[in-house]
Amino acid sequence: MIIRLQRLLPVTLLLLWLSGCAVQPPVPSDTSLTQEISERNQQLSALNKWKILGRIAFIQANKRESASLNWLYEQDLQDNISQRLDLTAPLGINVLHLESDNNRHILEVDGEEYHSDDLDGLIYSLTGLTLPTRALSYWLKGLAYLPQDKLSYDKVTRLPTRLTSLYDNRLWSVEYQNYQLVNQHRLATKFSITQAELNIKILVKKWTL
């Protein structure tokens, strides 16, 4: 069963939001954000608990969908991962609710609960959306998920500008924009994630560490 999110998310609202996320002309690098690559990687690898609030959009050739994003993520010293994610449509309608604990996932859509240990497959089977859930928690911090992931860096600030990955044998590309200093951590707030004809745009309004 494919759940059509566009029934809940008017395309006009998506277009209005995307107009504010359109690619802007390059701006000079903010030298105050400069940080050595190895120092940043070490610092952000130790960042195991965070929360983001913002907007997310899924753009494909035949459909466009968007929602508010609320994602809380935590990894303990034993590498157990717990997370809570909500996608909310305009007027506060909850489109998708996820709770995960140590690779056990509960996904709620349209009031129905679904359980699986394969989160990527579960989300796709219910919504038709492809999400690189395991890698995304790394990519949002500007870190490689796989050893083969390749990162490009700004020549001045040494912050990530682009990442490419063969996650699940599919070529993914992540572009980073608009870095901010959050509790001494340099974190991007605009992301464009592309795989084939799918483009995922994320606008983070608030990082909480």
SS (H, E, C) 98-135: EEEECCEEEEEECCEEEEECCHHHHHHHHHCCCCCHHH
Give 84-109 pLDDT, tens digit per residue. Answer: 999 998 878 888 899 999 889 999 98
Q: What is the DSSP letter of 202?
A: E
What pLDDT is recorded for position 10?
37
Give the Cα separation of 207 and 73 in Å (integer).
12
The model's pTM: 0.84
Give yes or no for residue 139 having a pLDDT over 60. yes
Higher pLDDT, 45 or 133: 45
Give 171-181 pLDDT, tens digit per residue. Answer: 999 999 999 99
Q: How far is CA 88 from CA 100, 110, 115, in A?
A: 18, 12, 20
Averaged pLDDT of the chain: 86
Instruction: Give first-to-last CA distance, the chain, whole Å.
Output: 37
Residue 1 pLDDT grade (very low, low, confident, very high; cuts 50, 70, 90): very low
